[in-house]
């Protein structure tokens, strides 16, 4: 996570002007911020609080309630390891452990180089491919703990997930 990187607040001025008197504007505004920055930067939360007259506490509470919002920067590639029942039975925990080792991060964290964010999900809807994970938009199925690191290696080398 690069917290020192300056956040360009000018992008939000127009948005907040548009929503300043709108009731129930918080969620749509947070969605715009998330789409613009990839997460909800602290300075932007402060600006929203000031302009929409909503406490930071309430904004953060709302943001943490919905899985679509993130308070920290996300990686270039999002890895979602399925830990649903079918995947669990087929050894998802071991797969997750190996990926976590390969990336040197725990679930919910982003690698130091901001390339990967590791998430755990309940079911990817690909149970016949268990154990499975999703990298960005691509499903990787029938994973094995011993070889799952190759997927990570390939993405690091090529920049794409296949
Ligand atoms: S339980 Fe893993 S894809 Fe459904």
Does any ligand 1 atom lie closer than 6 A to the CB of residue 29?
A: no
Span from the CA of 91 to the centroid of ligand 1 (angstroms): 11
Give the pLDDT confidence score for residue 2 in this predicted structure: 41
Give the pLDDT confidence score for residue 31 in this predicted structure: 96
Give the pLDDT confidence score for residue 111 in this predicted structure: 94
Give the pLDDT confidence score for residue 118 in this predicted structure: 96
pTM reported for the whole predicted model: 0.77
CA 68/CA 99 separation, integer angstroms: 23
Give the pLDDT confidence score for residue 140 in this predicted structure: 95
Determine the topology of domain 77-158 in CATH. Answer: Glutaredoxin (3.40.30)
Does any ligand 1 atom lie closer than 6 A to the CB of residue 133?
A: no
Range list for CATH 3.40.30.10 in the chain:
77-158
Summarize pLDDT for 64-101 with one digit per residue, the tens: 999 889 998 899 999 999 999 999 999 999 999 999 99
Residues of the chain with pLDDT under 70: 1-5, 161-162
7, with CB counted inside 10 A (0-12, 13-18, 19+), is middle
Give the pLDDT confidence score for residue 21 in this predicted structure: 80
Q: Which atom of ligand 1 is nearest to the CA of 92?
A: 2
Strand partners, 140: 133
Give the pLDDT confidence score for residue 4 in this predicted structure: 40
Does any ligand 1 atom lie closer than 6 A to the CB of residue 84?
A: yes
Long-range Cβ pairs for the range 46-49 (8 Å, 24+): 47/9, 47/12, 47/16, 48/12, 48/16
Span from the CA of 119 to the centroid of ligand 1 (angstroms): 14
Closest C-alpha to 5, from 32, 34, 43: 43
Q: How many contiguous H segments (helices) and E segments (strands) does the chain have?
A: 7, 4
Does any ligand 1 atom lie closer than 6 A to the CB of residue 83?
A: no
């Amino acid at each position: 996570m690069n917290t020192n990187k300056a956040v360009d607040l000018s992008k939000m001025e127009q948005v907040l002007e548009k929503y300043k008197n709108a009731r129930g504007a918080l969620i749509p505004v947070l969605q715009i911020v998330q789409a613009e920055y990839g997460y909800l930067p602290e300075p932007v939360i402060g600006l929203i609080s000031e302009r929409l007259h909503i406490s930071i506490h309430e904004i953060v509470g709302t943001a943490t309630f919905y899985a679509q919002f993130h308070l920290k920067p996300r990686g270039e590639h999002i890895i979602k390891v399925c830990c649903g029942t079918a995947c669990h039975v087929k050894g998802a925990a071991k797969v997750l452990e190996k990926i976590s080792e390969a990336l040197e991060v725990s679930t919910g964290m982003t690698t130091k180089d901001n390339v990967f964010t590791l998430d755990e999900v309940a079911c990817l809807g690909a149970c016949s491919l268990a154990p499975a994970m999703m990298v960005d938009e691509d499903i990787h199925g029938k994973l094995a703990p011993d070889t799952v690191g190759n997927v990570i290696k390939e993405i690091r080398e090529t920049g794409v997930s296949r």
